[in-house]
């Protein structure tokens, strides 16, 4: 996909950092020559957990609150990290993917092929898709959660499908409880 510039997530990260809040916001593995392979919230989640553990044990970050942040596919990693780590103090996501199967259905064959290339098909690996859908672990996210959406996304100008909106509403409802 073409890069959106400037990245709203980068702007959001900067706002937190300027307030002495440590932000863990990972790029997709393999981006810009980095090592690793993209897994849409699989191994990237372990990367984030490792970074937080390392940073929490350094003098510079020891007393800093930690926010995990992500956009689009990165929201999967941010939400999974927030649900799995006691050291996370908040989570901020832009264009959150709360239900991966619904997202793929709404975005079409190109996105479906992308996910299937990384994870496999939904029929073969339903548990892997469930692991990446915040709907299945929303009850474990017990930190403040900021979810932002573009009114008209520069990469995906169509509005979300009704079932995707319903999924987001359920995620918000579970978060409020």
Q: What is the mean pLDDT of residues 85-111?
A: 86
> CA-CA distance, 121 to 116, in Å (whole number)?
5
- Give every CB contact of residue 87 below 8 A, 6+ residues apart in sequence: 52, 53, 56, 66
What's the pLDDT tens digit per position in 110-119? 889 988 988 8
Q: pLDDT value at position 71?
A: 82
DSSP letters spanning 105-166: HHH-HHHHHHHHHHT--TTT-HHHHHHT-GGGTGGG--S-EEEE--SS-SS--SPPPHHHHH
Q: pLDDT value at position 32?
A: 64
Q: pLDDT value at position 161?
A: 47
Tally the residues of the chain. Answer: 177
* pLDDT band with cut points at 50, 70 and 90 for residue 175: very low
Q: pLDDT value at position 148?
A: 80
* pLDDT band with cut points at 50, 70 and 90 for residue 88: very high
Q: pLDDT value at position 174?
A: 47
Q: Does the pLDDT value for residue 66 go beyond 50? A: yes
Q: Is the pTM of this model over 0.85?
A: no
What's the pLDDT tens digit per position in 43-56? 888 888 998 999 88
Q: pLDDT value at position 24?
A: 84
Q: What is the mean pLDDT of residues 72-101?
A: 87
């Amino acid at each position: 996909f073409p890069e959106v510039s400037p990245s709203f997530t980068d702007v959001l990260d900067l706002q937190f950092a300027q307030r002495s809040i440590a932000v863990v916001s990972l790029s997709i593995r393999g981006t810009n020559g980095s090592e690793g392979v993209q897994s849409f919230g699989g191994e990237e989640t372990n990367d984030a957990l490792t970074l937080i553990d390392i940073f929490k044990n350094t003098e510079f970050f020891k007393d800093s609150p930690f926010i995990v942040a992500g956009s689009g596919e990165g929201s999967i990693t941010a939400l999974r990290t927030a649900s799995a780590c006691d050291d996370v103090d908040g989570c901020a996501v832009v264009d959150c993917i709360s239900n991966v199967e619904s997202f793929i259905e709404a975005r079409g064959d190109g996105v479906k092929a992308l996910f299937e290339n990384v994870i496999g098909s939904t029929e073969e690996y339903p548990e892997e898709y469930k692991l990446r859908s915040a709907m299945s672990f929303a009850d474990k996210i017990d930190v403040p959660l900021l979810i932002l959406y573009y009114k008209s996304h520069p990469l995906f100008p169509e509005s979300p499908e009704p079932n995707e909106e319903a999924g987001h509403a359920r995620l918000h409802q579970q978060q409020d409880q």
